[in-house]
Amino acid sequence: MNRPLLFLDVDGPLNPYAAQPERRPDGYSTLRVPRNSGTPEDQAGLSPRRRPLRVWLHPEHGRALLRLGYELCWATTWMDDANRWIAPVLGLPELPFVDFGDALLRDRPDGVHWKTGPLVEYADGRPFAWVDDEQSDRDRAYVTAHHRGPGLLHHVNPRIGLRGDDFRTLTDFARSLDTSRAGGRTALRRTD
């Protein structure tokens, strides 16, 4: 039986970028990523300053994520660069990533986040959880209408990143899949 997917955004859940810039959160390490690292932000001209990008990462998050029982998958503008810069700090193996292609950073007229459609397509009916700081009710409605399997869209506050409660929510969702597989489809769950 396939494990559910866990789509991981970097900036917000793993990198609490919106925290006070002068105070690194407890337990986090600072990573400086050169602006010419080839990240999509660089390619899209979104790096007006050439100073290295400051990224805060909590090294314990890697172990905690691996213990959840999901198949981890990057769902971030970092795409494969997350394997180069983020995974080693967290102690994660190389992970698959969603290639957002033409959808990358392009607003949709219906207000659905630009990641939502590609994530549903990538999951292809497989149960998934998605941790991000930019989901909305429109994304939940889209997933409910277009995804054949269970889904959890879990919002993470970008000022604090993933915390114990977030890991418990992900654990509970994975356990609910084990108990509900015999009974059919699980409803999309909202967590804020």
**147: Cα separation from own chain's centroid:** 18
Query: What is the C-alpha to C-alpha distance for residues 165 and 157, in angstroms, rounded to an integer?
Result: 12
In the prediction, which pLDDT does 182 show?
A: 46
In the prediction, which pLDDT does 149 show?
A: 95
Residue 130 near residue 154 (C-beta atoms within 8 A): yes
Per the model's pLDDT, the better-predicted residue between 185 and 37 turns out to be: 37
Asked whether residue 26 is assigned to any structural domain, the reply reads: no
Rg (CA), the chain: 16
The answer, yes or no, to whether residue 64 has pLDDT greater than 90, is yes
Residue 119: which domain range? 5-19+59-191
Asked whether residue 53 is assigned to any structural domain, the reply reads: no
Asked whether residue 158 is assigned to any structural domain, the reply reads: yes
**Sign of the torsion angle spanned by Cα atoms 66, 68, 70, 76:** negative
Least Cα distance to 19 among 167, 164, 156, 166 occurs for: 156
Residue 184 — pLDDT band, cuts 50, 70, 90?
Answer: very low
Asked whether residue 40 is assigned to any structural domain, the reply reads: no
Query: What is the C-alpha to C-alpha distance for residues 20 and 120, in angstroms, rounded to an integer?
Result: 33
The answer, yes or no, to whether residue 164 has pLDDT greater than 80, is yes
CATH number at residue 133: 3.40.50
* DSSP letter assigned to residue 183: G
Asked whether residue 37 is assigned to any structural domain, the reply reads: no
Query: What is the C-alpha to C-alpha distance for residues 133 and 121, in angstroms, rounded to an integer?
Result: 20
Range with the lowest mean pLDDT among 23-27, 95-99, 115-119, 181-185?
Answer: 181-185
Asked whether residue 160 is assigned to any structural domain, the reply reads: yes
In the prediction, which pLDDT does 185 show?
A: 45
Asked whether residue 45 is assigned to any structural domain, the reply reads: no
Q: How many structural domains compose the chain?
A: 1
124: left (phi over 0), alpha (psi -120 to 50) or beta: left
Asked whether residue 50 is assigned to any structural domain, the reply reads: no
Query: What pLDDT digit, counting tens, does each position of 92-110 carry?
Result: 999 999 999 887 878 888 9
Q: What dihedral angle (degrees, nearest 10) is formed by the CA atoms of 73, 76, 80, 82?
A: -90
Query: What pLDDT digit, counting tens, does each position of 39-61 carry?
Result: 555 545 444 556 888 999 999 99
Residue 168 near residue 50 (C-beta atoms within 8 A): no
Q: Averaged over 118-131, what is the pLDDT?
A: 97
The answer, yes or no, to whether residue 14 has pLDDT greater than 80, is yes
Least Cα distance to 74 among 56, 100, 53, 52 occurs for: 100
**Sign of the torsion angle spanned by Cα atoms 126, 160, 96, 109:** positive
Residue 86 near residue 97 (C-beta atoms within 8 A): no
